[in-house]
Chains A and B, each alone.
Chain A
Amino acid sequence: MRTYLLHRLLHAIPVLIGISVIAFFIVRWVPGDTVTAMLGAQYSEEEAIALREKYGLDQPLPLQYLRWAGNVLRGDFGRSAFTGQPVLEAILERLPVTAQLVAMSLTVALACAIPLGIWAALRRGGKADTLASVTGLLGVSIPGFWLGALLILGFSLHGGWLPSGGYIQWTVDPWENLRHMTLPALALGGAVTAVILRMTRSAMLDVLDEEYVRFARSLGFPQRVWVTRYALRNALIPIITITGIQAGYLLGGSVVIEHMFSLPGIGLLSLQAINNRDYALLQGTVLFVGVCFVFINLLVDFIYAWLDPGIKY
């Protein structure tokens, strides 16, 4: 198990370097010049040269990359050209919104998908199974932003029960915070629910055929016992793996949902960075999300190894 974990850690290093290379070079490929964007319409050539020298933009690209990567490792992601705020500070300010959105979406998804997936597997070919299959297919096919629109139509505009957008901090008013986050979490969690549901059903079907489950059933254990203690425990590994992968993808999906519900999270921040041509901010958000994605996957690998100590690389 230790070798496996070490391999996974070592494997993550070139991926992290690759992410930083992509995040760095993207800004160089974006049309327009960073210096002229910072100076505005009226500037002299001397000012531009001075600014290039100040930020090291007159140096060769590999050298610029090393300097930037060094700064990033020290926690200096640069400053937003639009607001002047340090990029890392801007990201960390928005992180709680995205983290809460992702956590609530995953909670909703797990709470719905696992019981429904188990139920479908236990009644294979029956009505519950059909319902799970249809839900699974619809879930992966309905765009999150359309689901969001339908939820706003039903729960905000017609019902008036929940707000259609905006954000209230948890520390200011926890109840209002939950009310504002409910519809975005449901909209974002729809597709994830479907994916976890399909995986739960499939994983449960695999273990239900195993001898140890059949043996537990033959001993006369109640269904609740053999399902949770013998079947579900062994079906958890693929479910956890897919949940981890989905958590990473939720970070990406949050861009659309944060735009839909005007939530000030990292997704909306990266969208604003693109629209404002705020290169340092774009670089920072891309790097941050990429690194989070890798760490979530590493965490999944660790849980995987913990659940299945016999795993070998």
Chain B
Amino acid sequence: MNTFISRFLRNRSAVTAAFIIALYGCLAIAAPWIAPHDPYTMHSEALLTAPNNAHWLGTDPFGRDMLSRLLHGARISMTVGAVAAGLALALGSVIGMLAGYAGRAVDHVLSRIMDVLFAFPDILLALVIMAVLGPGTFNVMIAIGLVYTPIFARVARASTLSVKKLMYVEAARGTGASSLRILARHILPNIAAPLIIQTSLSFAFAILAEAALSFLGLGVEPDAPSWGVMLNEGKNWMEHGWWVAVFPGLAITLAVLSFNVMGDGLRDALNPRHHR
């Protein structure tokens, strides 16, 4: 564990990315207190104004403060990312471990179901699930979580297959340990590394997917200060004010980039031979 931490800390890009993610988290938590304005209040005297002293990142076409909306948007993105990635991790790990450990018919059926889910482009599958569930932040989390479940299932299945034949699992089985105990106590801790890396990468995908769904009008509630909603509103006004489209996109890109860099850093720290 110490070797892993020291290897991760030596990777300056990954540490910087982790710092940025922590900063995003802090800003998201503190948004109601640090945002200079209410994200929903329309300032009729300041419609689509460029960045200035009163509104550091300008205002949108409805006169709402961009900085305040971005800060509250971080709450939505971080929450959706955490819940969706958590849901995909939980569901995918259970399915993948079951498939890998049980083998035969169980593996065959579960793997084919995952193959079918893989056969749809992720954003289309999320769109269709949203059409069934209806718009809303909670439903976005469920939809994205379900879409990324097969990735975790594949990672967990492959890792379980390689671990279940190892001596310590055989030994646990020999002592009469139940399958549930073997999975929870002996297999899960030993397949955690690839699942942690996948969680970091899926967090980035979830932020992107939420923004894309909201951009298409099928994500969070239409007036919510989501970065995707802001970009969708901003795209029609770019000619008059570049800031309405540039700042939300920058916020998304920096968050996604940080999770990707941290994911790469975690992978390199856990498996140094992978790094080239």
Q: Which residues of A contact B215 (CB under 8 A)?
A: 145, 256, 259-260
- Inter-subunit contact B112/A157 (CB<8 Å): no
Q: Which residues of A contact B257 (CB under 8 A)?
A: 137-138, 141
Enumerate the 5 nearest inter-chain pairs by beta-carbon distance, A residue then B residue, closest first: A252-B121, A18-B116, A146-B249, A141-B257, A141-B256
Count A interface residues, CB 8 Å. Answer: 48
Assuming A15-B112, A26-B132, A137-B260, is B123 touching A143 (CB within 8 A)?
no
- Inter-subunit contact A271/B245 (CB<8 Å): no
- Inter-subunit contact B212/A143 (CB<8 Å): yes
Interface positions of A (Cβ within 8 A of B): 11, 14-15, 18-19, 21-22, 26, 29-31, 124, 137-138, 140-143, 145-146, 149-150, 152-153, 157, 202, 205, 248-253, 255-256, 259-260, 270-271, 274-275, 282, 286, 289-290, 293-294, 297
User: Which stretch in B55-63, B87-95, B153-161, B232-240 binds the other chain?
Assistant: B232-240
Assuming A26-B128, A143-B253, A274-B131, is B120 touching A290 (CB within 8 A)?
yes
* Cβ of B208 under 8 Å from chain A: yes
Closest to A274 in B: B131
A30 to B133, CA, bound (A): 7
- Inter-subunit contact B260/A22 (CB<8 Å): no
- Inter-subunit contact B120/A286 (CB<8 Å): yes
Interface positions of B (Cβ within 8 A of A): 112-113, 115-116, 119-125, 127-128, 130-132, 134, 204, 208, 211-212, 215-218, 231, 234-235, 238-239, 242, 245-246, 248-249, 252-253, 256-257, 260-261, 264, 276
Assuming A145-B212, A146-B253, A286-B128, is B238 touching A153 (CB within 8 A)?
yes
Choose among A26, A142, A248, A286 the residue that contacts B253 (Cβ–Cβ < 8 A).
A142
- Inter-subunit contact A152/B256 (CB<8 Å): no
Closest Cβ of chain A to B214, distance in Å, is 10
- Inter-subunit contact A253/B121 (CB<8 Å): yes
- Inter-subunit contact B128/A252 (CB<8 Å): no
Closest to B116 in A: A18
A143 to B131, CA, bound (A): 22
A286 to B115, CA, bound (A): 16
- Inter-subunit contact B120/A293 (CB<8 Å): yes
Closest to B213 in A: A256
- Inter-subunit contact A153/B245 (CB<8 Å): yes
Interface of B is mostly: helix
Closest Cβ of chain A to B249, distance in Å, is 3
- Inter-subunit contact B231/A252 (CB<8 Å): no
- Inter-subunit contact A157/B238 (CB<8 Å): yes
Choose among B216, B234, B248 the residue that contacts A271 (Cβ–Cβ < 8 A).
B216
Apart from A21-B116, A274-B218, list 14 A-B contacts with CB within 8 A: A19-B120, A26-B132, A137-B257, A138-B257, A140-B256, A142-B249, A143-B211, A143-B253, A153-B246, A259-B216, A282-B128, A286-B120, A289-B120, A293-B119
Q: Which residues of B contact A138 (CB under 8 A)?
A: 253, 257
Q: Which residues of B contact A22 (CB under 8 A)?
A: 116, 120
A250 to B124, CA, bound (A): 11
Assuming A14-B112, A18-B112, A142-B253, is B127 touching A255 (CB within 8 A)?
yes
Q: Which residues of A contact B115 (CB under 8 A)?
A: 11, 14-15, 18
Assuming A205-B276, A282-B128, is B234 touching A149 (CB within 8 A)?
yes
- Inter-subunit contact B211/A289 (CB<8 Å): no
- Inter-subunit contact A255/B216 (CB<8 Å): yes
A15 to B113, CA, bound (A): 8
Closest Cβ of chain B to A249, distance in Å, is 5
Q: Which residues of B contact A248 (CB under 8 A)?
A: 121
Choose among B204, B212, B239 the residue that contacts A141 (Cβ–Cβ < 8 A).
B204
Closest to A279 in B: B131
Q: Which residues of B contact A275 (CB under 8 A)?
A: 217
Closest Cβ of chain B to A160, distance in Å, is 11
Assuming A140-B260, A255-B127, is B249 touching A15 (CB within 8 A)?
no
A22 to B146, CA, bound (A): 14
- Inter-subunit contact B121/A30 (CB<8 Å): no
Closest Cβ of chain B to A165, distance in Å, is 10
Q: What are 14 residue pairs bridging A and B, where the CB atoms are less than 8 Å apart in the complex?
A: A15-B115, A19-B119, A31-B134, A141-B260, A142-B253, A145-B212, A146-B252, A149-B234, A149-B246, A250-B121, A255-B123, A256-B215, A271-B218, A286-B128
Q: Which residues of B contact A141 (CB under 8 A)?
A: 204, 253, 256-257, 260
Q: Which residues of B contact A259 (CB under 8 A)?
A: 215-216
User: Could you say which of B121, B215, B246 has the most chain A C-beta atoms within 10 Å of its C-beta?
Assistant: B121
Q: Which residues of A contact B131 (CB under 8 A)?
A: 26, 30, 274, 282
Assuming A152-B238, A259-B216, A274-B131, is B120 touching A252 (CB within 8 A)?
yes
Q: Which residues of A contact B204 (CB under 8 A)?
A: 141
- Inter-subunit contact A149/B124 (CB<8 Å): no
Choose among A15, A124, A142, A153 the residue that contacts B119 (Cβ–Cβ < 8 A).
A15
A138 to B252, CA, bound (A): 12
